Amino acid sequence: MAAVTTTTTARTTTTKARTTTTTTRQKWGWGVTDFVVIALALIPVLWMASLSFKTPAAILDPSFLPASWTWGNYTQILSTATFIRPLINSIGIGLIATFISVVFASMAAYAIARLRFPGKSVLIGMALLIAMFPIIALVTPLFSIERALGLFNTWPGLIIPYVAFGLPLGIYTLSAFFREIPWELEKAAKVDGATPFQAFVKVIAPLAAPGMVTTSILVFLACWNEFLLAISLTSTIAARTAPASLAYLSGSSQFTVPTGPIAAAAVVITIPIIIFVLFFQRRIVAGLTSGAVKG
């Protein structure tokens, strides 16, 4: 008992000692460094936000903050189908593609993390190859194939490739998460008479939920961000996604530059990212790093 108390005191002293060795200079140094990092990360975003609040006349004034603020750009873009429809497409296509990829990826990741079967390394290699694939190499054939199949400029026409590119990300992230799960529980379930499939659905799936949420966020962000396929495989607002629609926004009249509306649209499509980052940053970081570092 006494020994324990001594150790605790000793530890407290070291902590205190360490705190006191942090000099004012170090504090200032870190303070300035942190400030610089945060400023570098946020200034370009703040600039875009500021641009979106500028009136058409003030756009031609290069000062960082608007002289007078207006919501005009937002009301303009949110009242035209040119932006609203692509926004809906983005949300719909992103959610459906994310859902399908995460379901398929979690099945494959479970098999990779847990089951013994031949062909596992082929699958991992294939996922890696696709993760690094130059998407442009697929644009030509997909453009041709989708036109032939009538998938060009439709939701499924984008959802299918997004699922394919979401899968490697999903498989890597999820198999890393699945390796951390206490699998004795699965054995226990099997001892109790559950089949491997039942063990998967009833025992492991609930434990895997946090990893699946993380993976969903990463896959959704990737779909939300995608641009090359979005401009190549769509031709009208029927399936065009929000990032692809930015270039089609026009000024409030034919003679005004579309800067304000484009900035406003850029802010609107950035908002979900900010929300995800604020709420799920721990998960996003864990997900990003688990796949790449722990393998």
The contact pattern for other proteins, residues 53-92, with x = CB under 8 A and - = no contact, is ------xx-xxx----------------------------
Task: Look at the alpha carbons of 178, 181, 183, 189 in this order and tell me if their dihedral is positive or negative.
Answer: negative
- 42 in contact with other proteins (CB under 8 A): yes
Q: Which of 175, 214, 215, 216 binds other proteins (CB under 8 A)?
A: 175
Q: Which is nearer to other proteins, 79 or 225 (CB)?
A: 225
Query: SS3 of 79, please?
Result: coil
- 158 in contact with other proteins (CB under 8 A): no
To which residue do tokens 């940053």 refer? Answer: 281
- 204 in contact with other proteins (CB under 8 A): no
- 149 in contact with other proteins (CB under 8 A): no
- 143 in contact with other proteins (CB under 8 A): yes
Q: Identify which range of 9-17, 80-88, 180-188, 259-267 contacts other proteins by CB under 8 A.
A: 259-267
- Report residue 204 as tokens: 């492991």
What is the DSSP secondary-structure string of 3-37?
HHHHHHHHHHHHHHHHHHHS-HHHHHHHHHHHHHH
Q: Could you give the CA distance from residue 181 to residue 103 in angstroms, rounded to a whole number?
A: 18
Q: Which is nearer to other proteins, 81 or 128 (CB)?
A: 128
- 113 in contact with other proteins (CB under 8 A): no
Residue 81 Cβ, how far from other proteins at the closest point, in Å? 20
Residues shown for the chain: 295
- 201 in contact with other proteins (CB under 8 A): no
Q: Which of 7, 8, 26, 80 binds other proteins (CB under 8 A)?
A: 26
- 171 in contact with other proteins (CB under 8 A): yes
CB atoms within 10 A of CB 194: 16
Q: Could you give the CA distance from residue 225 to residue 270 in angstroms, rounded to a whole number?
A: 10
Residue 138 Cβ, how far from other proteins at the closest point, in Å? 5
To which residue do tokens 């570092």 refer? Answer: 293
- 278 in contact with other proteins (CB under 8 A): yes
Residue 1 Cβ, how far from other proteins at the closest point, in Å? 29
- 142 in contact with other proteins (CB under 8 A): yes
Q: Identify which range of 1-9, 70-78, 137-145, 203-211 contacts other proteins by CB under 8 A.
A: 137-145
What is the widest separation between alpha-carbon atoms in the chain?
83
Q: Could you give the CA distance from residue 144 to residue 157 in angstroms, rounded to a whole number?
A: 12
Q: Identify which range of 68-76, 180-188, 202-210, 222-230 contacts other proteins by CB under 8 A.
A: 222-230
- Report residue 225 as tokens: 């961000």
- Which residues on adjacent β-strands are paired with residue 69? 54
- 96 in contact with other proteins (CB under 8 A): no
- 117 in contact with other proteins (CB under 8 A): yes
Query: SS3 of 69, please?
Result: strand
Residues 6+ apart with CB under 8 A from 166: 97, 98, 101, 102, 105, 219, 222, 223
